Amino acid sequence: MKLHEYQSKALFAQHGIPIPKGRVTGTALEAREIAQELGGRVVVKAQVLVGGRGKAGGIRLAKSPQEAEEAAAQILGMTIKGLPVRKVLVDPAADIRAEIYLGVTNDRAARKPVMMASSAGGVEIEEVARLTPEKIHREHIDPFLGLRDYQARSLAAGIELPREHWKLFGQIAAGLYQAYVESDAVLAEINPLVITGDNQLQALDGKIVLDDNALFRHPDLAEMRDMDEEASAETEARKYGLSYVKLDGEIGCMVNGAGLAMATMDIIKFFGGAPANFLDIGGGAGADKVAAALRIILADPHVKAVMFNIFGGITRCDEVARGILAALAEVNTRVPMVVRLVGTNEEEGRRLLADANMITATSLADAAQKAVAAAKG
Ligand code: GDP
Ligand code: MN
């Protein structure tokens, strides 16, 4: 789950990180009032859960409350990368002298958190990593020791931060690490962390991605979830207890079990296809869950074929077949479907699907090859 910029910055502030003193609102009129309170120039920023808002026109400077109202009215009507803007953050405009990147995330290979800093802040860190990887400095953090002062200093030295800022930089790095640990985040980043004209450090933008599996420990954070902003398929999937991740291929996958789902995606790739999603319907899924899963898969316009890979252990193949039939009865589709049903009640499952105009497969390899061919044909 991602937090909005204003939510992330509020969390940062709780950990002693300096942020601009702005406020969030859903109306242009209130944007004007906030600008009035703040006095002087402000920046009006779209609150959507995607990066690159600046380039999309979602960040505008305003010289007066009047201009702030106009900017907010425009931004509140926008859609950025498919997401409607429902809130704007009005912050005092910063006088920016330099933009730094500072972030902490999990390094799975190192099995530790890693803090990264770069003097090339402001732009997306993935771009920096691709074009000028030498500009990213890293410190792995021992989870039992936490971030050590010398590590923050080493990052400050790496990005050639002027000495006068080292003390505050150290406090910000410590605060960021604390925010990351205490919220069970998988990513916490400040981009940009700016040096202002009056020589202060300030977090101008913030991004926090929380670990969904730890959300139960943070009811206050879970409450911040913005339903409007999530891809509707993922919200829908959660409602039915399905684990669904959208990908950009063209073969929709419906599988029971996360390991089998991973193997299914691998074998599709092996035979030259690309999975459109990861989907685990879980063990013992009933027909309604299967029907919901198929609806979600078919709602993706990129899906050119669907592959069912069901291993009936606790899950009964006949239940799955009933779910498929139920979904097909309500969605009108011509997408070819390949089924591999093995295990509990497989004969019954196959018999139910016999008239459903589906491609049957004898093995996983056979199913994957048929799905790849169907997607291409
Ligand atoms: P993002 O594009 O979605 O990552 O949004 P950011 O909040 O990071 O803003 C993008 C860029 O807009 C920053 O890197 C700054 O260069 C600029 N920007 C954001 N806020 C201000 C501000 O208050 N004053 C000025 N001058 N520029 C700003
Ligand atoms: Mn940013």
Q: Measuring from each residue's beta carbon to the nearest atom of ligand 1, which residues come in under 6 Å?
A: 43, 45, 51-54, 59, 91, 93-94, 96, 99, 122, 191-192, 204-205
Q: What is the pLDDT of residues 215-240, one digit of tens each?
A: 999 999 999 987 766 667 887 888 88
- Quote the pLDDT of residue 229: 63
Residue of 99, 139, 189, 346 marked catalytic? 189
Low-confidence ranges of the chain (pLDDT < 50): none
Angle between helices 166-182 and 5-14 in degrees, nearest 10: 110
Architecture of the domain made up of 21-92: 2-Layer Sandwich (3.30)
Whether 180 is catalytic is no
Angle between helices 258-270 and 364-376 in degrees, nearest 10: 60
- Quote the pLDDT of residue 261: 96
Cα gap 58→299, rounded to integer Å:
28
Q: What is the pLDDT of residues 151-192, one digit of tens each?
A: 999 999 999 999 999 999 999 999 999 999 999 999 999 999
Q: Which of 291, 297, 301 is nearest to 244 (CA)?
A: 297
From ligand 2's centre to the CA of 65, what distance in Å?
24
User: Which ligand 1 atom is the nearest neighbour of the CA of 92?
Assistant: 23
- Quote the pLDDT of residue 284: 74
Cα gap 255→289, rounded to integer Å:
12
Cα gap 142→134, rounded to integer Å:
23
133 burial class (0-12, 13-18, 19+ CB within 10 angstroms)?
exposed
Dihedral pair phi/psi, residue 180, rounded to 5°: -65, -45
Domain boundaries 96-222, CATH class:
alpha beta
- Quote the pLDDT of residue 23: 97
Best mutation site among 9, 205, 229 for ligand 1 pocket (most ligand atoms within 8 Å of CB): 205
- Quote the pLDDT of residue 228: 66
From ligand 2's centre to the CA of 193, what distance in Å?
9
Spatial CB neighbours of 40, under 8 Å, sequence gap ≥ 6: 92, 93
- The protein residue whose alpha carbon is closest to atom 7 in ligand 1 is 205
- Quote the pLDDT of residue 327: 84
Q: Looking at the DSSP assignment, which residues form a beta bridge with residue 117? A: 102, 137
- Quote the pLDDT of residue 314: 85
128 burial class (0-12, 13-18, 19+ CB within 10 angstroms)?
buried
| Matching CATH number, 231-376, of 3.40.50.300, 3.40.47.10, 3.40.50.261, 3.40.50.11540 | 3.40.50.261
Give how far Cα 202 sits from Cα of 42, 88, 115, 172, Å: 15, 19, 18, 9
Whether 249 and 255 have beta carbons less than 8 Å apart is answered as no
Query: Model pTM?
Result: 0.76
Cα gap 325→352, rounded to integer Å:
8
What is the DSSP pairing of strand 201-203 with strand 185-196? antiparallel
- Quote the pLDDT of residue 112: 97
Residue of 6, 101, 180, 244 marked catalytic? 101
- Quote the pLDDT of residue 231: 64
Domain ranges of the chain: 21-92, 96-222, 231-376
Cα gap 59→305, rounded to integer Å:
40
- Quote the pLDDT of residue 50: 82
151 burial class (0-12, 13-18, 19+ CB within 10 angstroms)?
buried
User: Which ligand 1 atom is the nearest neighbour of the CA of 205?
Assistant: 7
